Amino acid sequence: AKALRPEQLERARAATELWKAKPLDPAANSADIPESWQDGTPQTTASVDMKKAVQNIQRILNKNGYEAGNPDGLMGLKTKNAIMAFQTDNDMKATGAVDEKLVKALLARK
């Protein structure tokens, strides 16, 4: 209040006196939970350290002549291009993505 000039303070006080909270919208404050989530059965997924997985993929690609760059565990352009080249050479769809088919093919060449 001391930082405002008197007329600014008066306007601010008038504005706060006029303010009223809007009614709550129940739809905006709730979530519809799918039935499949409500059966009480916890679903688990595999815990994979993706950085380590990408690092291993980079090492295998490099070892097999596909320049994936420094095995740093990061999915950069070199890694993606190396994956696509490997996929193409091994009759896979060249997506550049890490999937189960790619991992199995790479592990066979480890």
Look at residue 104 and give its three-state secondary structure.
helix
Q: pTM for the full model?
A: 0.58
pLDDT in tens, 14-61: 999 988 888 888 888 777 777 766 666 565 666 778 899 999 999 999
Where exactly are the structural domains of the chain? 6-31, 50-107
Residue 56, C-beta contacts closer than 8 angstroms, at least 6 positions apart: 71
